[in-house]
Structure 1
Amino acid sequence: MKVFKFGGASIQSVENIKNVGSILKTYANDPVCIIISALGKTTNALERVVNTYYKGEQATALALFEEIKQSHLSLAKELLNDRLSHTESYLLDFFTEVEWLMHDRVVQSYDYYYDQIVCVGELMSSTIVSNYLNEIGFKNEWLDVRDILRTNDAFRFASVDLDFFQNAVDQQVKSILSEKSVITQGFIGSTDENESTTLGREGSDYSAALFAHALNAKNLTIWKDVPGFMTADPKVFNEANFIPSLSYQDVIELSFYGAQVVHPKTIQPLLDKKIPLYIKSFIQPAEQGTLVSEQTVKGLPPVIVKKDHQCLIEFTTPDYSFVGGKPLQTLYEILDNHHLTSHLIQVGAVSVQICLTYDKNTTPNLATSLATLGEVNIQQNLTLYTIRNYNGTLIKKYIDNDNIILLQQTNNTYQALLKN
C-alpha cells in the first residue's frame, strides 16, 4: 500500500492534471491512497475572500468567490466529458456551502470563518481530479476527509483525534483500497459538530503522513515541482542542488528553521512506523527523488533557508528582573496558545528576543498578550537567513554584516536576522 500526495502546483492546469493521470496509470493494478491539495494559488484566493467578508464587505467577498467558482467550472469543462454533469453537481454543493455562510453577518471568530471557507479549495480540486481519473479508467472513490478526520475546534490550528481517525480508516478506507484507489483531501478535517477545520497552512503533507501511518503504508510520496529536497529554494538561489537522501531528524530540523519542502508535523507519524518518505518531481516522475528515512546521512552539504516577512519581538520584564524561570515558561505558553512557532529565540538576563513570521491576524494579538507581562517592542520587515553546515564562503556571500540585528551561531547552524 502506497500513499501519494499531490500539491497545488501539480494540479493547477489541465495539462498538469493530465500529467497526474499519466503518473497514476502506472499504478493501476496497485490501489493507492491519494491526498489532493487545492489548485495552485486557490488557498491564497480563498484567504482574500475570508479577509474581505470578515471586514463586512459581503458583496466584494461574493464577487471574489465567483471568480474562484468560474475558474473551477472552466477547468472541469476542459477536462471532462461523460462525468461533467456529475462533477458540476458536487461543485455546486460546495459553492452553496460557502455562499450561504457569507450571506449572513459576521458573528463568529475570524479563524472559524477561515476554516469554513478555505476548506472548499481541497474539496473542489479533489472532486475534479477524482472524476477525471475515473473517466480515463483509473478507478477510484472520492471521500470527504471531514467524515473520517475528526479534530477539536481550534480553528485554523486543529488537533487530530488519532483514535477516531484510525478507526474510521479501518472501517471505511481499507475496504475501498482492497478494490480501487481512494482520492481524498489534505489540510482539512471537521469537529464532532460537523464544522470544518484546518490543520495549519501547508497541512496536506501532515494529512498524507497520518494516512500513511493509519494504513501501515509501504511508503509516502510527496509530488512537487522540484527534483526533491534541495540545498536551497531554487526559485531564490540559482546554485541550489539536489540532495538524494536525508534522515528524519535532518528534515525535522530543516522544517523547524523554515524549509518549506514538507510540513513540520509530517515526519512524526512516519517515524513512529519507520515509513520511508519520497519527495519526487511530478515533472520528471521517473527520477529517483529524495529518500527520507531513519538512516543517518553523513557529509550533508550546506543548506540555506531564507525567510522573508519576519519580525523581531523583544520582551523585557517590567522591573528588569531575571527573565528565566516562570517568565520564560509563561512566554512559551503564550506562543503555544497563539499557535505560533519562533524561528529564533535569544534569551538575555532581563529580555527575550523572538523572531517569527509576521501575520497581521496573529502577531498583534501575541504582542498584546505579552504586554500584560512586560514591555514589548516589535521590528518588522526583516529577513532571516539560516545556514546549516555553514562555511565562511556562504556567510560572506549572503550576509551583510552592517544589517545584522540578531545573530546566533552553533557548531552546525548559523542564523542572522537582517534589516531589509
Structure 2
Amino acid sequence: MKIFKFGGASVNSVERIKNLGSIIKSYNKEKLVIIISAMGKTTNGLEKVASAFFKGNREEALELFTAVKNQHLTTAKYLLVLQYNECIQQLNDFFTEVEWLLHDKPVRNFDYYYDQIVCTGELFSTCIISHYLKEEKINNQWLDVRDLLRTDNNFRDAGVQFEFSAPRISAAVNEYAGNITITQGFIGATDDNESTTLGREGSDYTAAIFANILNAAELTIWKDVEGVMNADPKTYQEAQLIKELNFNEVIEMAYYGAQVIHPKTIKPLQNKNIPLLVKCFLDPSLEGTIIHHKHIKNLPPIIVNKDHQVLMHLKTKDFSFIGEEPMSALYQIFGEIKVKPNLIQTGAISLQLCLDDHNEKIGLLAEKCSEMFDVQVEKSLRLITIRHYDEKIIQELLSSQFILLQQKTRETIQTICRM
C-alpha cells in the first residue's frame, strides 16, 4: 500500500485536477490512499469567511462564502457530466453545514468557528475529485476523515488520539475491495463530532498518520517543485535540489521554518521507517527527493527565511538575574497563549524572544510579560537560518544585513535582521 498526498497547488484548476487523474491512472493497479488538501486559495477564502462571521458581519461572511461555493460549482461543471448531479448533491450538504452556522451569532471563541468553517475546503475538493475519478472510470471510495480521525478539542492545532483513530482507519481502508481511497488532510473531529484542524499545512501530517497506521510501503507528497530544495528558489537563485535527506535533517529544517514538510509529519514515518518521497506533480518522471533513516553526508548549506518576525526585549524591573523562577513563569505564559518562540537569547538581567508576528498573541504576551519585565517590541524583522554554513554563504547572505541578534552553533547560524 502507498499513501499519496496532493496539496492545494496540485488541484487549483481543472487542468491540474485532470493531471492528478493521469498520475493516479499510472498507479491504478496499486492499493492507494490519497490525501487531498483544499483547492488553491480556498483555505484563505474560508479564513476570511470565519473572520467576518466572528466580527458580526454576517452579510459579508455569507457573500464571501458564496464566492467560495461558486468557485467549486464552476470547477465541478467543467469536470463532470455523468457524475455531476451526485457531486452537486454532496457539495450542497457541505455548503449547508457552513450556511447554518453563518446565520447564528458567535458565542464561542474564534478558533472553534475557524475550524468549523475552514475544514470544509478539504471536503469540497475531495468530493469533486472523487467524482471526477469515477467519471474517468477510476473506481474509488470517498471517506469523511472526521469519522476516522479523533482529536482533542484544541481547535486550530488539535492533537490526534491514535488509540481511537487507528482501528477505524485500518477498517475503513482495508475492508474496501477496491484499490483507491480518497480522503481529506488537515482535519479531524472531537468526541462531540465538532470539526477540528491540525494546524496550517496539516495535510502532510494526516498523510503520515495514515502511512503509520496502515504500515504503508511509502508516502509520496506531490508538490509543484522538483523536490526538496536547499533554499526557496523564489528568493535564492542558486537553490539546488537535494536528492536524499534523512529524517533528522528534515525535522531540523521544519523546526527552523522550512515550508516543504509539516513539522509533525516526520515522527509517524520515522517510528516505522517508512520512506517519504517528495515528487513533482508537474513532471512525475523527475526523481525528486527521498527522505529516510540513513545517514547523509556532504549536504549543501540549507537556507530558511522567516519573514514577519517580532523581537521582544524583556528586562527585569529590579535588575535581578534571569533565573529559574522568571523562566518558569515565562514558559507557563507561552503555554497559556500557545506561542512558540523561534529563538531565545538570555543575558544576566535581560531576555530576547523572536516570534512569529501574530498581532493578537504578541499583544497578549507583552501584556502578561509586563507584570515581571520591562517590555519592548520590535517588528518587521526577518529570521535567517543557515544549516551546514560556510564562510562563503555567510558573507553572501549576511554581509549586507542590519543584524540585531545572532546565534551560532557548529551546525547552524541564526540571524535576526530588519526586512
TM-score by length of 1: 0.97
* Distance of 1:198 and 1:359 partners within structure 2: 18
* Distance of 2:147 and 2:269 partners within structure 1: 23
Q: What is the CA deviation profile of residues 272-317 of structure 1, one whole-angstrom value per residue up to 9, with x for unaligned ones?
A: 1011000110011111111100001000000111111111122333
Deviation at 1:402, TM superposition (A): 5.7
Deviation at 1:390, TM superposition (A): 1.1
Q: What is the CA deviation profile of residues 102-151 of structure 1, one whole-angstrom value per residue up to 9, with x for unaligned ones?
A: 11112110101100110011110111111111111211111000001111
Structure 1 window deviating more from structure 2 (394-403 vs 384-393): it is 394-403
Residue 127 of structure 1 corresponds to 127
The reply on whether 1:284 has 2:279 as its aligned counterpart is no
SS in 1 for 2:266: helix
The reply on whether 1:112 has 2:112 as its aligned counterpart is yes
Q: What is the CA deviation profile of residues 76-117 of structure 1, one whole-angstrom value per residue up to 9, with x for unaligned ones?
A: 101111111111111111111111111111211010110011
Deviation at 1:378, TM superposition (A): 1.6
SS in 1 for 2:359: coil
Residue 393 of structure 2 corresponds to 394
SS in 2 for 1:269: helix
Root-mean-square deviation over aligned CA pairs: 1.4
| Conservation of the 8 A alpha-carbon contact between 1:157 and 1:339 | no
The reply on whether 1:213 has 2:212 as its aligned counterpart is yes
Residue 198 of structure 1 corresponds to 197
Residue 271 of structure 2 corresponds to 272
| Conservation of the 8 A alpha-carbon contact between 1:38 and 1:121 | yes
Deviation at 1:239, TM superposition (A): 1.1
Deviation at 1:353, TM superposition (A): 1.2
SS in 2 for 1:232: coil
Q: Percent identity?
A: 50
Cα gap change, 1:12 to 1:402, in 2 (>3 Å) = closer
Residue 187 of structure 1 corresponds to 186
Cα gap change, 1:261 to 1:192, in 2 (>3 Å) = same
| Conservation of the 8 A alpha-carbon contact between 1:123 and 1:185 | yes
What is the letter of the counterpart of residue 380 of structure 1? K
Q: What is the CA deviation profile of residues 315-361 of structure 1, one whole-angstrom value per residue up to 9, with x for unaligned ones?
A: 33333322232322332333233332222111212222111211134
Residue 343 of structure 1 corresponds to 342
* Distance of 1:215 and 1:147 partners within structure 2: 17
Residue pairs, 1:7-406, within 5 angstroms: 7-176=7-176, 178-400=177-399, 403-406=402-405
* Distance of 2:85 and 2:182 partners within structure 1: 19
* Distance of 1:338 and 1:274 partners within structure 2: 35
Q: What is the CA deviation profile of residues 223-257 of structure 1, one whole-angstrom value per residue up to 9, with x for unaligned ones?
A: 00111110101122111100000010000001000
Deviation at 1:48, TM superposition (A): 1.2
What is the letter of the counterpart of residue 354 of structure 2? C
**Tell me, which stretches of 5 or more residues in structure 2 are unaligned?**
none
Cα gap change, 1:402 to 1:252, in 2 (>3 Å) = closer
The reply on whether 1:414 has 2:416 as its aligned counterpart is no
* Distance of 2:24 and 2:249 partners within structure 1: 29
Aligned residue pairs: how many? 419
What is the letter of the counterpart of residue 319 of structure 1? D
SS in 1 for 2:379: strand
SS in 1 for 2:20: helix
What is the letter of the counterpart of residue 111 of structure 1? D
Cα gap change, 1:168 to 1:349, in 2 (>3 Å) = same
Cα gap change, 1:109 to 1:400, in 2 (>3 Å) = farther
* Distance of 2:132 and 2:401 partners within structure 1: 55
* Distance of 1:128 and 1:402 partners within structure 2: 47
Q: What is the CA deviation profile of residues 49-71 of structure 1, one whole-angstrom value per residue up to 9, with x for unaligned ones?
A: 11111111111111111111000
Cα gap change, 1:369 to 1:134, in 2 (>3 Å) = farther
Q: What is the CA deviation profile of residues 31-55 of structure 1, one whole-angstrom value per residue up to 9, with x for unaligned ones?
A: 2011000011111111111111111
* Distance of 2:40 and 2:115 partners within structure 1: 18
* Distance of 1:406 and 1:205 partners within structure 2: 33
* Distance of 1:90 and 1:329 partners within structure 2: 50
